[in-house]
Homo-oligomer: A and B are copies of this chain.
Amino acid sequence: MPHIDFKNDLPGIRSAMAFRPETAGPLNQLAQILLRDENGLSRADRELIATLVSYRNDCFYCHNSHGEIACIYLDGDRNLVNQVRQNFETAEISEKLKALLNIAAKVQNSGKDVNEADIERAKKHGASDVEIHDTVLIAAAFCMFNRYVDGLATYAPTEMDSYPVRAKQIAENGYGTHVYSQNQPK
């Protein structure tokens, strides 16, 4: 049961966003830029970073939600998403993305864990400054979103078929005010 009365029965972060629309606005705008921008990282890369960090933060709602969105961008390759969750170093992804996921995994624990060798590795495989910036900020932002979702004990659906349905809506329409509308399907 949620720690506070959201006055709605929406799942996950959407219940908290509907409860406090003043903060939902900038949170959705941040997600829209960080996860949908096509400057540098692909949308699949961005959602994989979000999924890895959420998985390591043990946030069931977030890692399943973003894992399913990544899956759509990867033409349904759920196995690849699981490889990233379990061990991104051996996943069938580029060396550049492995280097960026390594930075994201460091940030998940502490920003201070990122060292010069981590940055050099990413640059060696072609990562730009904007891509490194976005990797750090996506990882940091999910350390916020995960804590927001779990710190208020929001409701996470256990019916796993609800996640692909919602993921399709996000992949098609992006992150916006509709995300926390009560008129949308759960």
Residues of A within 8 A of B (CB): 3-5, 16, 19-20, 22-23, 25-27, 29-30, 33-34, 37, 57-59, 103, 106-107, 110-112, 114, 116, 119, 129-130, 132-134, 136-137, 139-141, 143-153
Contacts and interface: CB of A to CB of B under 8 A. Distances in A.
Contacts of A22: 33, 37
Nearest to A116: B3
Contacts of A106: 151
B111 A148 contact: yes
A147 B110 contact: yes
A115 to B, nearest CB: 9
Nearest to A108: B147
**Residue among A20, A130, A144, A149 with the highest chain B CB neighbour number at 10 A:** A144
A103 B143 CA distance: 16
Given A107-B151, A136-B148, 13 more contacts: A3-B132, A4-B129, A26-B29, A30-B30, A57-B111, A111-B146, A111-B148, A111-B149, A112-B151, A114-B150, A132-B152, A140-B145, A140-B147
A133 B30 contact: no
A141 B140 CA distance: 9
Contacts of A19: 129, 133
